[in-house]
Structure formats: structure tokens, C-alpha cells
Amino acid sequence: MNDWIISATGAGPLLDQLHHQLPGTEGVVLLSADGLELAMSAGTRPDKATQLSAVAAGLHAIADAANRNNGGRRVDQSVVEMDYRMLVIVPVTGELLLAVVFDAVTDLSGTRERIATFAGRLGLRLSSVDMRPTEPDLLPIS
């Protein structure tokens, strides 16, 4: 996990908030489009966050390729329904994705809408942060 990203963006508490708002949430991860885990909710196990990041990036890349092949402009959300779990992947900003794994619920569309709304809020927060690494101040040599 990249502690600098969490402190610079304040993403950690937001991810924790989403984790607690959804019933039966197993993991909430902010990741780069290439699968690098950047931040996770406090309730997400670190080993699961790494796996979730890799899977989410791969699935989003497949959805994006299918979208481009069919003349689309963007993928708004990717959803994987499993026996008793759901995985939702939402683009946040540019090259950042949000992946959420939770228990299957009766109101799937409402839950997906809540995740999308949250991703929008997170995107606004992240877009206001300068994510470029800075060089340390150079001291003159005497």
C-alpha cells in the first residue's frame, strides 16, 4: 500500500466509509489501471487487496477493449456476479480505479449507484491533489 497516496489524498477514511456503508463488504481498494494497489479500506485484508487489484485491473482492461471494439467511448462500471458475492469496478479518475467486493444484495442497482456516487466524490478529491512526486530541496554545497 502506498502510504504517501493515502496521506496526500485523504483516500483512506473515504474508503473506510464506503466499506462500512455496504452490507457484507469484504474489500475496498483504490488501484492504478495497471493493477497497483494504492490504498485500501482498513477492513480489507492486505493479501486480498493485492489479489483484488490484479483481478480488477485485468477485468477493467478486458471491458475497455470490448468497449473500444464496439465503438464505445468509456466503461462506466464493470460488474461480476458470483454465487454470493459481487465485484464492482468503477473508474475514478484517469488511470485510477475503485474495486469493491461485497455480499450479493437484493438491491443491486441501488448498491451499484452508491458505489458510482462514491467513486465520483473520490474522483473530485483526487483531481484536486497534485500526484506528481516532488524533488527534495537541494542544499547548496559550501
36-89 pLDDT tens trace: 998 899 999 999 999 999 999 999 999 999 998 988 888 888 989 888 889 999
Using the predicted structure, report yes or no on whether residue 98 has a pLDDT greater than 80. yes
What integer is the mean pLDDT of 105-121? Answer: 76
Q: Where are the domains of the chain?
A: 3-127
Q: Is 64 exposed, middle or buried, given 0-12, 13-18 or 19+ CB atoms closer than 10 A?
A: middle
What topology does CATH give the domain 3-127?
A: Beta-Lactamase (3.30.450)
What confidence score (pLDDT) does residue 9 get?
Answer: 60
Give the contacts of 30 (CB within 8 A, at least 6 positions apart).
Answer: 5, 11, 15, 37, 38, 39, 40, 92, 96, 97, 98, 122
Its pTM stands at 0.78
